[in-house]
Structure 1
């Protein structure tokens, strides 16, 4: 039996990712594995519903529509965790004026649930709803350190080099994850973007009788140096507050 209309529509939407935010009809069809006439018909229906939009009036490029964003905000990870964490994230921002992240693990990637943009001029590649590699971000390292063993094995088997400073040696990365579990925080130095350093701590919640790491809170700054203890302390207070509220 051939692909259903639903599966073809989902394939069309899945053609977008963090590296392909704007696509022409031909590119959409190619990435979705669909004939151009089929992609054209489905794109028209999704455009009318609001799942797709034009990059600008009259543009040949499609972008993800606002309707999907509105639906995404209804997901439990968004409504529950973001709502609980919001005041604590604002506390961290007020204390540091740095970019603040709230993230969860989504498979073998880190999903950014919330972000407050800092006042410092630091290259930040994350956006709310974006996914990045676990091994090269502060929040990602926290989540990877506490992920199931099969997830760690997959990530450590083929970590991608993003900058010259990204740690990709499996043994060195595994040792770093051990330190994250021991010390209670993770840090990166220009592993995701040049000129950006990060530090992050875990958020814990009791799930089915056991305490698990369900999220991570992090900061992106130009450098850590002498500020690291202060930043870790601010994040730890916030993470503990979020954890208490999740109970």
Structure 2
């Protein structure tokens, strides 16, 4: 196999992509990780498109699960067939039974079948049967692949529906959904990110500009500017408090 890429995608800003990254690198530490941080409602995938322009025959792509490759079963299956025909290896950690390597191995014995008995009439008859067997085998494998994409699509739809139902039930029971207006969510991840921003960003005396800081920490642009604003506000409050204490 040539180069091996690990493709990770999240569909909303509220999701974490690191789980996918960890899962892929745990099995394939040599994989070159490609992150699609936010796709938006149009499903525009610039990192995927860039990968498609550079990937070559015998290269491979690893996915945490099949749903990361397409929005639905039909689209995912079309991408799968295109990649297979281009000679690109596809690997799914969760659905390994449809890896292209397994597909090729299951098909190879059928593809290699050809009868040459020396009797043209008999060969023509037998080989016509072999061709029918090939079509049947290919059809069965394709159904297995499509079924895997369909199952992944159903699981995602089910999760979205249950989440929506749970939120609605909580709202009907009078529970607070999300944070109250003006409340800041403080997590260990946000604390660590803010520390890194103060350490690396030029706004606070660090060596990196905004874009370089974002890449260094591995957060989205929106999150970076939000945290930077909060840091500035916190520093101003501390400064005002110190001035009052000195008076």
TM range (shorter): under 0.3
Q: TM-score w.r.t. structure 2 length? A: 0.24
More helix, by proportion: 2
Greater relative contact order: 1 or 2 (C-alpha under 8 angstroms, separation 6 or more)?
Answer: 1
